[in-house]
């Protein structure tokens, strides 16, 4: 049985806000500011915020649904470069289910001129880190509302981008990995989005402009149908395709994204696979990609 290495995850959010960079810096570094917007759910309230803004210092922010004990997020500052960059590591999230990896987060601010600031938030950690999107999306929305409120000195701008990157090393030669991604017979043995799923069919015309169709889902239920078009095919190196998912044939498209798969031969029969998913809600795709990459590992090992 092939060894299955745990996936590494990088989640990137990009937004543009109509405020000067100095104003954005204050929103992230002053406790009184954080206490007005830093939360992880649209129905949350903020109980308290404390900031010790120095390398090695901690931030403690308590938030959560009203009438319940709050979550307390504790982070440690690793790097502070005013007014452009902050790097932190998660120390604890008290009151929430244990996370396998608190991860590291970097905040980068770029002055676009005309009083606009581009924000890039990058989190890095284990494969389940994609779930942090559930908190970061409402958090960044709340930041926009705060900045656009009276006295906020700006307005929110909805120029959103999200990138999910998953990296995994397989104990299989690159030729086998490439065949698994490009041969319809192979895809029909492993390409699914849930541990309880079955694969109904797989079709693939792997060439630039070619298309694919794969049906999968829980047994006894209408399958999800993923369709896509290949935009780049570089054998043993890179595969890119635009993808959409519907429930059943001809249903409304639930997801439209650009996916890029990069393959690296590590020697000794080992291959690194880097999967990048681009789309406004790409973070949600982790729910399907993680079991998909697990299924590929089982297929290669059996």
**Is 189 in the same domain as 73?**
no
Phi and psi, residue 94, nearest 5°: -70, 135
Within a domain: 2: no
Report the alpha-carbon distance of residue 254 to residue 245 in Å, rounded: 5
Judge if 152 and 169 occupy the same domain: no
249 within a domain of the structure (yes/no): yes
pLDDT 10s digits, 191-229: 999 999 999 999 999 999 999 999 999 999 999 999 999
Q: Are 140 and 116 in contact (CB under 8 A)?
A: no
Q: Which residues does 195 contact at the CB level (< 8 Å), separation at least 6?
A: 291, 294, 295
Higher pLDDT, 153 or 128: 128
Confidence of residue 129 (pLDDT cuts 50, 70, 90): confident
Q: Are residues 19 and 153 in the same domain?
A: yes
Q: Which of 125, 159, 193 is the last residue of a domain?
A: 159
If you average pLDDT over residues 88-96, what whole number do you get? 87
Residue range 231-253: mean pLDDT, rounded: 86
More confident call, 142 vs 100: 142
Which residues constitute the domain of residue 219? 165-301
Q: How many domains does the chain have?
A: 2
Same domain, 138 and 172: no
Residue 13 has pLDDT above 70, yes or no: yes
Based on the fold, state whether residues 105 and 185 are members of the same structural domain.
no
232 and 127: one domain?
no
Q: How far is CA 190 from CA 51, 126, 195, 297, in A?
A: 47, 22, 11, 9
Percent of the chain with pLDDT over 90: 79
Helix (H, G, I), strand (E, B) or coil at 238: strand
Q: What is the pLDDT of residues 59-83, one digit of tens each?
A: 999 999 999 999 999 999 999 999 9
Residues 177, 153 share a domain: no
């Amino acid at each position: 049985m092939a060894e299955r290495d745990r996936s590494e995850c990088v989640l990137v959010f990009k937004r543009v806000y109509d405020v000067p960079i100095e104003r954005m810096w204050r929103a992230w570094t002053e406790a009184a500011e954080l206490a007005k917007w830093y939360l992880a759910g649209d129905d949350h309230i903020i109980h308290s915020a404390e900031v010790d803004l120095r390398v090695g210092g901690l931030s403690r922010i308590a938030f959560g649904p009203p009438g319940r004990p709050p979550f307390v997020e504790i982070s440690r500052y690793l790097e502070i470069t005013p007014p452009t960059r902050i790097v932190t590591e998660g120390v604890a999230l008290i009151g929430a289910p244990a996370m396998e990896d608190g991860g590291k987060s970097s905040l980068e601010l770029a002055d676009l001129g005309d009083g606009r600031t581009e924000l890039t938030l990058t989190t890095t950690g284990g494969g389940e880190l994609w779930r942090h999107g559930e908190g970061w999306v409402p958090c960044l929305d709340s930041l926009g509302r705060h900045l656009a409120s009276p006295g906020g000195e700006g307005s929110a701008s909805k120029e959103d981008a999200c990138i999910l990157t998953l990296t995994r090393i397989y104990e299989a030669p690159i030729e086998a990995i490439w065949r698994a991604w490009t041969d319809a017979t192979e895809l029909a043995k492993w390409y699914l989005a849930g541990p309880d799923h079955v694969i109904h069919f797989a079709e693939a015309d792997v060439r630039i402009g070619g298309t694919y169709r794969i049906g999968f889902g829980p047994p006894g239920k209408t399958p999800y149908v993923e369709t896509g078009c290949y935009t780049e095919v570089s054998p043993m190196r890179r595969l890119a395709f635009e993808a959409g998912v519907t429930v059943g044939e001809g249903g409304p498209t639930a997801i439209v994204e650009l996916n890029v798969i990069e393959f690296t031969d590590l020697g000794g029969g080992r291959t690194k696979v880097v999967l990048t998913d681009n789309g406004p809600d790409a973070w949600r795709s982790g729910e399907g990609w993680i079991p998909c990459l697990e299924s590929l590992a089982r297929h290669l090992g059996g």
